[in-house]
Amino acid sequence: MKITFLGTGAGLPSKDRNTQTTVLDLNPLSNEYWLFDAGEAAQHRILNTNIKLGKLTTIFITHLHGDHLFGLPGLLTSRSFQGGEGRPLKVIGPRGIKLYVETTLMLTGSHLNYPLEVLELNGGEVLTINKVSVNVQPLKHGISSLGYRLKFPPKEGRLKQQKLLTAGIEPGPIYKEFKTRPVVTYNGEEYITEDYKEHPEPGKVIAFFGDTMPVETERLLADHADVMIHESTYLDGDHELSHKYFHSHIDDVIQLAAECHVKMTLINHVSNRYTKDDIEALTHQLKNSHPEFNFQITEDYLSYEI
């Protein structure tokens, strides 16, 4: 799988960073894309990638602030003309998303040529989308804000080929049965297939956070995540100021990652007040002061393989 950041800025676009848009490429699990938030010009960014709108099947909106949302109507309408015809799309977000989508499409006389489902959530729900378990939790941002914890299905363990051969089981269609069934009969003998397979690899966990100040529900999302995508609008300075604006300070993120044993943290929602040099200096400083904190401050068009 691959996460691509198409907008990593905060509040409003700058020349360097667009507003929030992140794409998850589900390959090889599935030939589709999921989008997390849709800042204005998300579709323009997508034009610069090889992502096809027709393969975009689910859009998760974390909250309704404009820098996470204003690109949604354009994505929905352009998708009709860019391979989306007849291909269902699901939009998931907090309460209000339905009225926003419906009012916008109605007033602009927009008719989509594919089935659109809009799902409003409060947090607390667990959905299953294409074998992926999605745990949704409410965050704390002064406006309803959601985090999404994605738990992918475990990867089946590989066959122990040597052990099969030793038992006299030759390669052929029977191997597929060993892969997919718990018990297999071969030459009149019964085999418990798990004895002939490596342990399954646990499914990856990715936690996408909406904007938030620290709140207890964050732990449910971050717990032992392989990758956590989290805002840090305040990469330095005053903690109180960040919480006053319902945002996270980098120290909050470091603490959350440590307490929840997060393997990798990708930091987005970077304020325009930080220059490229600032980011470089802050990264260097953090790597020194918190060597255990495995992180990257994201940039537009940066991709991360999982």
Site residues (CB under 8 A) for a copy of itself?
Answer: 11-15, 18, 40-41, 43-44, 47-48, 64-66, 69-71, 73-74, 77-78, 81-82, 96, 99-100, 103-104, 107-110, 142-143
Task: Please indicate if the annotation marks 44 as binding a ligand.
Answer: no
Task: Please indicate if the annotation marks 63 as binding a ligand.
Answer: yes
107 by Cβ neighbours in 10 Å (0-12 / 13-18 / 19+) ranks as exposed
Q: Nearest approach, Cβ of 68 to a copy of itself (angstroms)?
A: 9
117 by Cβ neighbours in 10 Å (0-12 / 13-18 / 19+) ranks as exposed
Identify whether 67 is a catalytic site residue. Answer: yes
Which one is catalytic: 16, 25, 37, 67? 67
- Give strand pairing partners of 267: 230, 297
CB nearer to a copy of itself: pick between 80 and 217:
80
In 3D space, the residue among 90, 73, 75 whose CA is nearest the CA of residue 127 turns out to be 90
Task: Please indicate if the annotation marks 65 as binding a ligand.
Answer: yes
- Give strand pairing partners of 159: 197
CB nearer to a copy of itself: pick between 38 and 225:
38
CB nearer to a copy of itself: pick between 52 and 179:
52
Residue 185's alpha-carbon distances to 78, 119, 191, 231, in angstroms, are 53, 46, 6, 53
CB nearer to a copy of itself: pick between 70 and 186:
70
Q: Nearest approach, Cβ of 221 to a copy of itself (angstroms)?
A: 22
d(CA 226, CA 204): 6
d(CA 183, CA 257): 41
Q: Nearest approach, Cβ of 274 to a copy of itself (angstroms)?
A: 16
Task: Please indicate if the annotation marks 68 as binding a ligand.
Answer: yes
196's enclosing H/E stretch is none
Q: Which residues are catalytic?
A: 67
- For the annotated binding site for Zn(2+), the residues are 63, 65, 67-68, 141, 211, 269
